[in-house]
Amino acid sequence: MDEQVVAAAVSGLVALVVGAGTGWLTWAQIRREREKWRTDLKTAWALEVHKARLAAYPRAFEVLRALSTLDGAVAPEAAGEVARELNDWLYSAGGLCADRTTRGALLGLRAGCDAWRRTGEQPPDLYRWRDLTMVHLRRDLDVRGLESYDFTPGATLLRTLEEELAPPPRRRFRGRRSASGRPW
């Protein structure tokens, strides 16, 4: 075979390999960039939703205050007003950015308050709905504080922080084992 034909074939093969390698590297870079863009977009979206919740959720807590028994017994008319205000809140920015379980808890509480207004009898699970609603509102905001508080003199902020930062207990592996007795 002629040396020029061999040289051309080798050159063509090398160009094909280099072109394929470059194409694959470019494709991989585009995928990495696209994934980075997606992550940045999701992070920005989560931040904006959190900001909207921080702006809207205090109003929901203000509405729930009317169900507090600290100021005395709650009247069915007050429960009806809570139902109306919760309905307004659900159709505002708060309901728009609330998690679906939070909206479900709010809808259950709204229904209980409205039933109390209509019948004059307090539903037996009304305060469970209120507590569930408060838990979900706080969870959406990633706010801690519903845990029971230790009133003993030794309960300090430092001890609480140490408990939160402590590593979780190690769990023993209870899966299959190899012939030697070691976990897979």
The Cα–Cα gap between 49 and 45 comes to: 6
* Mean pLDDT of the 35-51 span: 91
Q: Which residue has the higher pLDDT, 18 or 153?
A: 18
Structure pTM? Answer: 0.64
Render pLDDT for 70-97 as a digit per residue (tens, 0 to 9).
777 889 999 999 999 999 999 999 999 9
**End-to-end Cα separation, the chain, in angstroms:** 58
Render pLDDT for 160-180 as a digit per residue (tens, 0 to 9).
666 767 777 776 656 555 555
Residue 127, CB half-sphere, CA atoms under 13 Å: how many? 6
